[in-house]
Structure 1
């Protein structure tokens, strides 16, 4: 497999939304990017603020561009704040240093794309992303 299909992106979004509903989370914005950082699909729940797209994009796109999850970028920010703060103007969609941006890989570890979620706590956003990826039969970069 070399790419996330539109149907897989829709499955990721549906399963992520189901996980959020199961947990009683705030309204989410969820997007799926291909390996080149191009948008495959996005959905924003009723009541989610307009800024959810930009934050989800910053999480997913930043993860792809740096090569690690947005959670790890957040950890890097604590260790190297000057480096991480310099990313925003350098990367087309910035890099949000908080959990919720997860890299999707195939069974060989090749990057297929990324999922970004924003709406609840960053930890909950990430939980939903991982659940959505698993439900679509794809893997999360370790």
Structure 2
């Protein structure tokens, strides 16, 4: 199955709802397809205007490396030179922290979600709820 615009909208709505339930700071949520292209984005009221780049960087790193944000962060801590090189290859667009969550349909990666606005762990938790609401499995 491929990720559709309706799926992306469901993911964003459910991610935002989870954020409200958890009483998180205003979130920004982006959904990318398997090729790293933006399918949908929303920035909640009062979220900082620069949040798109952070949300995108979390999701972009996940989908382009096939490695969720938590794994990227561990790799950056263990091998900073590798993540520095990756960021050079991708023009500085990778943000290697939790909140970049891969979207799986079975054993296939079909996209990624990037969430920013609260702590990275909370961002990831909200993203997982959004992904589940669309009927997919998230990998943080």
Same fold (TM over 0.5): yes
CA distance in 2, matches of 1:91, 1:24: 34
C-alpha RMSD of the superposition: 1.2
* Runs of 4+ deviating beyond 2 Å: none
Matches within 5 A, 1:61-80: 61-80=60-79
The answer to whether residue 136 in structure 2 is matched with residue 129 in structure 1 is no
**Alignment partner, residue 37 of structure 2:** 38
For residues 37-78 of structure 1, give each alpha carbon's deviation from its aligned partner in whole angstroms, at most 9, with x where no partner exists. 001000000001111100011100001111110111001111
The answer to whether residue 115 in structure 2 is matched with residue 117 in structure 1 is yes
**Alignment partner, residue 16 of structure 2:** 17
Q: How many residues align?
A: 140
TM-score, normalization by structure 2? 0.96
**SS at structure 1 position matched to 2:112:** strand
**Alignment partner, residue 94 of structure 1:** 93
**SS at structure 1 position matched to 2:70:** helix
Structure 2 regions of 5+ residues with no counterpart?
none
Q: Give how far 1:140 is off.
A: 1.8
CA contact (8 A) 1:87 1:94 kept: no
CA contact (8 A) 1:62 1:93 kept: no
Range with greater deviation from structure 2 (4-13 or 78-87): 78-87
